[in-house]
Structure 1
Amino acid sequence: MNKTITYLIIISIAVGQAAMGQSTDKDLLSRIAKKLNEVKSLECTYAFEQKVENKPSSNWQATGKMAYDFSKMNELGANVYISRKSKRGFTKFFMQDTLYDIRSKTATLIKTAMRNMNKRIRKMWLFGNLALFSSPYEMREVLPAIAKNPATKILQVSNTTIQGQEAIQIQLELQGVRIGGEGKLIEVKTPKNRYDLTVRKKDLLPLQWKVLFEGGMNVTSYANLSTTFAENYWKLSKLQSEYLVLSGKEYRARERVKLSEWEGQQMVSWELPSLKGKTQTNRSLKQKLTLYEFFFLGCIGSIKAKPHIDELKSKFGDKLQVLNIETQDASKKEVQAFVNKFKLSSPTFYNGKKLASKLGIKGCPTFILVDEKGTIVYTSFGEVGKLKKQIAARLE
């Protein structure tokens, strides 16, 4: 009997210590959240990396600088400043309510005002463009909820060193919930979602944030942390005086004009691999009206255009030849997965980045209509209404 009682006492103590440990660890999360919410402003440099196993085209990096002025109580709760290098090497700045896309090769500065956006759409857009995603802003919003949520499990808390600084790493598991697109916890079907947070030991400010998923992770590291920020860095006054400044609408109109300069010229020669396994050239095509659609994986415009393209194919049948060309050199496997997911039925080619560059294609979907003699007769940057009329006029 005494042995049984002793055993039960030991078990009770162990359970109590485990519960106390979880409570203490969650208290640490609460302290980190409190520290972030006490900070009036924060500036740092950052490095973002997405790593996906067996999917190299999904691996990418971004670097830049971010700053938040939390004393400005606007609808976002802060004035947000962000700079980063995009996938194509362009520098993007977001400041308060305006996006600046800097094209150094052409000395062009594209300004897109976001003040008229719906608050929720604006916030989601900002998360999707790294201004808020995996950032101190996101942590400031979501860490209090994570600390209080019974679905939060602290797997491990350990001392570590990062960037030559003493730090604390917290390995988190959220059960049945994950951090959503607006820095909120949302219920999901996946039972376990993993995150690692590393903070500076001396002041609990973030040094690294990992989002772990099956087959990969997103890692954002922060350096040069400061609770003040240099406003002059964000003014862009020199660039605005030296560069051609255009609105997003003006830029798209200019690109349409540049694309239309191909009309009346011969389609450039090309040789590309198809998903069917054969390499094909433009010389091997049937001599008929041909519609080229240039796209990239996940292109919303291409997905939205699909019903219109299907309608044209159904209406004109063999009179119209439609070709899909992927523009970012994704792998055959990735392009095939995209084609299968969205049920693209036209012949599809990949490794089309050089061809798109020759034609000066800057956005997708881009449509190029070529007649039976190989002459470009019409071009369209995303707009399908006039394209349908052009095709109908030639084939009806």
Structure 2
Amino acid sequence: MKGVSLLLVCLVALGGVSLLSLGVGRYPVSPPAILSWLVTGQSADANLPVVLLGIRLPRLVAAIAAGGALSLAGAAYQGLFRNPMVSPDILGVSSGSGFGAALGILFSLPVAAVQALSLAEGITAVLCAVLISRAIGRSNDSVLVLVLSGIVISSLFGALLSLLKYIADPLDKLPAITYWLMGSFADIRTGELGTAVAMVLAGAIPLLLVSWRLNVLSFAYSVSDVVLFGRSAHLRLFASPGSRDRRIAAECLDLLEIAHLAGRAFNELSGGERQMVILARALAQEARFMILDEPASNLDYGNQVRVLRKVRELAGRDIGILMATHHPDHAFMSASRVAVLSGGKLSHNGPPESTLTPETLRSLYGVEVQVFDTPQNGHASRRVCAPVVE
């Protein structure tokens, strides 16, 4: 509700500013006269329709479309990079596009060719930044390396643009390049407005269609969003989760007894809570088989027990689970069958009680280990292991 209210306030503010902008200029028009013309289509001033419909309204619509496109691009970049400081030119897009346009103007290409070359060079700049980051960022922070690569590529294309401006004809080409780089809506008319809006929509519509996925990628996602993301395997490319997907995600949270965390930010959870949420996300995929790589690693003892208990419960719901662990006790607690790997090869395979013997654990870990049964408060005893400390 708060988001809807904020959106309505922004739309009202945009409408008010737009109304005022239509009346400002060398030919001033009062807001009542503009409203009267917009509502009735008639005006006592014969020049008013020409000024508004032929000049100011196309500029206004083009400016709103361009501003909206920049806002969408900025929000998409901030979500993808998980950083509120990034902008659409972070990968050298702006400098690459400027270089392409300047190159087209320098060779006197048609307007359409100049725009196409600008787009191509912007894409080239992004590809260069991505390739550089992949080449040198394998063992480093991938996002940081990509941003730094973008800064380098931006500087490179900026230098190339300066070189083109230096060699351009100062009386013809240089003013055209400078005017293109500055940008202006002064020459846009009603006939060109459709093309401009169509180009903006071509980029905006795909972003809006995948907005849910971009929101999940952002740095402020909630637990319910994380679990709901597990439903993406069942969604079409541009689809968003429906009521059934949200119901399944809520059921998974209830099943793992973490429904109280639904509104919490995922990055504020403890390690054990995060593991539970990740299990819920995997469960939301409705897969019949799950592969878990050390689900209890880096957790305190209590959270290890809670996570393994839930793993055992999931196995009891006819879900196949393959779990990797370095702790024999984890296998005793949750597994019905174990496969022991030693030296990259399968050395033993079978039920944990008959497979994880002191001899097997000694050869596997190189230490003396005792294996014994412990009572479980009236239930069947459970086998545990303990190292021999001399």
Identify the TM-score tier after normalising by the shorter chain.
under 0.3
Higher strand share: 1
Higher relative contact order (CA 8 A, sep 6+): 1
Structure having the higher Rg: 2
Question: Given the two structures, how large is their TM-score scaled by the length of structure 1?
Answer: 0.23
Question: Given the two structures, how large is their TM-score scaled by the length of structure 2?
Answer: 0.24
